[in-house]
Amino acid sequence: MQKKATGAFWKKKERRRQLVIGIWSFPKCVGRSRARALFSLPKNFPRLREKPIPSQSVKYQTFLIFGAPGSGKGTQGKILGSIPRFFHCACGDVFRSLDTRTPLGQAFLKYSSRGELVPDEITVKLWKVRIEDAVGAHVFKPDIDWLVLDGIPRNVGQAKLTEEIIDVKKVFHLSCPDRDALVARLKKRALKDNRFDDANEEVIRRRLATYEAESKPVLEYYGADLIEVIDATQPPVKVLAKILSTITGCNGNGNGQIHAYASAEAENFLA
């Protein structure tokens, strides 16, 4: 008489099926010995896919690119991001890569769709998710890479919220006191990118006024010791050279290779 299969039997069979799937996910070079070892694993052994990403144990070593709209933050951030051991994250990239199907994305839409300012807490959470995704994908390796930020923190509230996440080594303030020069630069950029609404001078000056009222106090928050003022009216290569020379002079805990890469990059741009 055939024995009736019990619940324990089906559980054992399902466990065996999952292990077989796991074996096929390994490369051929792993061999049969590895496969046999898998079958001897305890029942409570977690599947690889269920293993969580390790939580952040140390602060990200960070450089901030700071300045008014049109000062060249994005340009310098992108150049630094192209150098090995630097990972660049712009606030605009965070919003462009946002998945609006997630609860956090829905919370963002709730405010942005009404034309309201997104609360600092949501903005910082979105940014943190973007960084954690980069860490999980091994694009950003916090133990050996420097984090380069531009556009965040945008105000003192965001600076306070990121305190437990980033260790700011230097704030590069791209200074341009001549607001007329910034207006001309922003107009030119808007027309080049076919963003004709952004070429409106009234809109541009409103953005600059918002920067003065909300963003500039961030410099006071970090203090004079961390601020490196750079003339943003210089050609971009000279601005870059100043940033890199400051980075190579930092006595932080960064990998020595970072300084070598930065020095070589400065020479390439100034050649």
Structural domain total, the chain: 2
Tokens, residue 188: 């030119």
Q: Both 24 and 81 in a single domain?
A: no
Predicted pLDDT at 37:
45
The first and second tokens of residue 48, run together, are 């690889």
- Is there a contact between 151 and 211 (Cβ–Cβ < 8 Å)? no
Q: Residues 30, 78: one domain?
A: no
pLDDT of residue 257: 55
Domain that holds residue 170: 60-96+137-270
Q: Are 125 and 104 in contact (CB under 8 A)?
A: yes
In a domain, residue 125? The reply is: no
221 domain residue, yes or no: yes
CA distance 68 to 215: 8
Q: Is the pLDDT of residue 165 over 50?
A: yes
Claim to verify: residue 34 and residue 141 sit in the same structural domain: no
Residue 262 lies in a domain: yes
What confidence tier does 55 reach under pLDDT thresholds 50, 70, 90? Answer: low
Better-predicted residue by pLDDT, 192 or 174: 174
30 and 82 share one domain: no
**Domain match, 212 and 244 both:** yes
Task: Note whether 171 and 246 are same-domain residues.
Answer: yes
φ/ψ of 60, rounded to 5, equals: -75, 130
**34 and 167 in a common domain:** no
Q: What is the pLDDT of residues 100-137, one digit of tens each?
A: 888 888 888 888 887 778 899 999 999 999 999 999 99
Q: How far apart, in whole angstroms, are the C-alpha atoms of residue 154 and residue 158?
A: 6
Residues 6 or more apart whose CB falls under 8 angstroms from that of 269 comprise 79, 237, 240, 241
Mean pLDDT lowest among 91-95, 127-131, 163-167, 225-229: 91-95
Average pLDDT over residues 241-267: 65
Q: What is the predicted pLDDT for the residue at 197?
A: 67
pTM recorded for the entire structure: 0.71
Q: Residue 121: inside a domain, yes or no?
A: no
Higher pLDDT: 100 or 158? It is 158
Q: What CATH code is carried by the domain that includes residue 246?
A: 3.40.50.300
> 100 or 74, which is more confident?
74
- Is 215 in the same domain as 92? yes
Q: For the residues 140-169, what does the mean pLDDT come to?
A: 94
pLDDT of residue 23 exceeding 50, the answer is: no
What's the pLDDT band for 17 if we cut at 50, 70, 90? low
In a domain, 5, yes or no: no
The DSSP annotation for 128-182 comes to HHHHHHHHHTTSS-TTTPEEEEES-S-SHHHHHHTTTTEEEEEEEEEE---HHHH
Instruction: Find out whether 133 and 73 touch, Cβ atoms under 8 Å.
Output: no
**Same domain membership, residue 240 and residue 188:** yes
With respect to residue 248, please indicate whether it lies within any of the assigned structural domains. yes
